[in-house]
Amino acid sequence: MKPDSCISYLKSYWFGQHSIRRTLLINFLLPTACVFIAQKLVLQPLVATNQLPAITVLVILFVVYLGLALTVCVALNRHQRIQSGGYATNGDVVFANAAVLVAFIYLLISLTDVLTGRTGEVTVNAERGLRINPSNENPTYSEVDAEKGIYSLSGTIGIGATSRFRAFLANLPTTSKKPANLILDSDGGNIFEARGLAKFVRSNNVTTHVDRQCLSACTLVFVSGNQRTADPQARFGFHAYRLDSKSAQVWLDSNEEQRKDMDIFRHSNVDPDFVSQIYQSAPDALWIPSHSELKAARFLYSGAQQ
C-alpha cells in the first residue's frame, strides 16, 4: 500500500467511515494479534533472559494496547453517528465497545507474564520436595576469595538472578578480581535465567565448582565452565522440563527448550550419549548419575575447553 493510500485509509478509519466488522476485525484484532504474538515470541523471552528491561517493555506494550483500544472505540462511535438507520445500531456499537474492553483487559492480564517471567520449569529438591517455578526466590552471591576471583552462588535461580549477579559484581571493591571461579550450590530454577548466567560464565572463561549440589537448571551454569570440578559428595541432578504457565504452553515448547539446552551441553564437550539421557527423567523425578559417569561423559572436566 502506498503512503498516500495508507494515510487515506487511516483517516477514513479514524472518522468512522468503516463498517463495524472491518473496524473490529481488520483495524483492531489484526494489529492487536500481531503485537500480542511479538510480545510472547520475541519480547517476553528477551525480558526473561535480561536482554530487555521488563518495565520498559511493559510500558511500551501498555501504551500500544491502550492506543489500539481507544482508537477503535472512537472510530466505532463516530461510525454510529454517521449511520442513521443503516447496519449499525446503538446496540451494535455498545456490544462492539464491550468486546474491545474485554480484549483490552485480557491484554493487560497478559502483561503480568512480562514481569513475572512465568516460563519456568519444575525444580526438584530431595529435602523440600517438588516446587514449581520459584520466581520470587533468588540465589545469594558472596565473595569466597576476592583476591583470587572466587565467588559463590547459593540458592534457587529465580527471576532476575542474572542481573543481580552483574549488579553484585559491579558493586565489588575495585581491589576485587573479576570472576575466575564460581562455586555453585543450587536446586535449579528458571531456565532462562540459568542461560543468562551460563552465557556470562562461558564468555568470561570462568571455571565452575560444586561442593554440595547442582540440580536441574543449575547444571546449565556448571557445564558452561571452562573447567568443571566437584567435591566427592557433590551431586548433580537432571530431569525433563515442563512449562508451568498455561499461557506459556501456547507459545513455548518444552521439548524445543530442552533441545536448546542440549546444545549448551554439546558445546561444552559433553559426550553426546550422555546428553541424550539428561532429559529422560520425568519433570517430577530426578536422575543423579555417579561421579564416574559424569567424568566419563566429560561433564566433570578438568581439561581446557576446545
Compute CA 286 distance to the chain's CA centroid, rounded to the nearest angstrom: 23
> Which residue in this structure is represented by grid cell 562461558?
202
- Using pLDDT thresholds of 50, 70 and 90, give the confidence band for residue 299: very high
- Check pLDDT > 50 for residue 13: yes
> What's the grid cell of residue 134?
520459584
Answer whether residue 304 is part of any domain. no
Amino acid of residue 246: K
Distance CA 17, CA 11 (A): 9
Q: Which of 94, 116, 138 is the last residue of a domain?
A: 116
Per the prediction, the chain carries an average pLDDT of 83
Query: Within this chain, do residues 131 and 198 fall inside the same structural domain, yes or no?
Result: yes
Query: Within this chain, do residues 139 and 105 fall inside the same structural domain, yes or no?
Result: no
Mean pLDDT score, 61-66: 94
- Using pLDDT thresholds of 50, 70 and 90, give the confidence band for residue 237: very high
Per DSSP, helices labelled H in the chain are 3-14, 20-24, 30-38, 44-48, 54-82, 90-110, 112-116, 161-170, 191-203, 218-223, 246-251, 254-267, 272-275, 291-296
pLDDT at res. 7: 87
- Start-to-end CA span in the chain (Å): 52
Which of 306 and 273 is assigned the larger pLDDT?
A: 273
Which of 50 and 15 is assigned the larger pLDDT?
A: 15
Query: Within this chain, do residues 8 and 47 fall inside the same structural domain, yes or no?
Result: yes
- Check pLDDT > 80 for residue 96: yes
pLDDT at res. 195: 92
Which of 134 and 291 is assigned the larger pLDDT?
A: 291
Distance CA 215, CA 144 (A): 21
pTM: 0.58
User: Are the beta carbons of 283 and 121 closer than 8 angstroms?
Assistant: yes
Q: Which of 57, 87, 116 is the last residue of a domain?
A: 116
Which helix (H) or strand (E) segment holds residue 124: the answer is strand 122-125
Residues counted in the chain: 306
Query: Using CB atoms within 10 A of its CB, is residue 277 exposed (0-12), middle (13-18) or buried (19+)?
Result: middle
Bridge partners (DSSP) of residue 20 are none
Query: Using CB atoms within 10 A of its CB, is residue 180 exposed (0-12), middle (13-18) or buried (19+)?
Result: middle
Distance CA 234, CA 243 (A): 28
Distance CA 182, CA 227 (A): 11
Distance CA 109, CA 107 (A): 5
Q: Which of 116, 139, 168 is the last residue of a domain?
A: 116
Distance CA 99, CA 5 (A): 29
Mean pLDDT score, 130-147: 69
- Check pLDDT > 80 for residue 129: no
Mean pLDDT score, 114-140: 51
User: Are the beta carbons of 111 and 58 closer than 8 angstroms?
Assistant: yes
Answer whether residue 38 is part of any domain. yes
Answer whether residue 204 is part of any domain. yes
- Check pLDDT > 80 for residue 136: no
Amino acid of residue 5: S
- Using pLDDT thresholds of 50, 70 and 90, give the confidence band for residue 94: confident
> Which residue in this structure is represented by grid cell 576446545?
306
Query: Within this chain, do residues 110 and 147 fall inside the same structural domain, yes or no?
Result: no
Which of 55-59, 92-96, 273-277 has maximum average pLDDT? 273-277
Eight-state DSSP code of residue 224: T
Answer whether residue 12 is part of any domain. yes
Query: Within this chain, do residues 187 and 290 fall inside the same structural domain, yes or no?
Result: yes
- Check pLDDT > 80 for residue 135: no
Number of domains in the chain: 2
- Using pLDDT thresholds of 50, 70 and 90, give the confidence band for residue 249: very low
List the domain range (segments joined by +) for residue 85: 3-116
**Count helices and strands in the chain by DSSP H and E runs:** 14, 8
- Using pLDDT thresholds of 50, 70 and 90, give the confidence band for residue 84: low
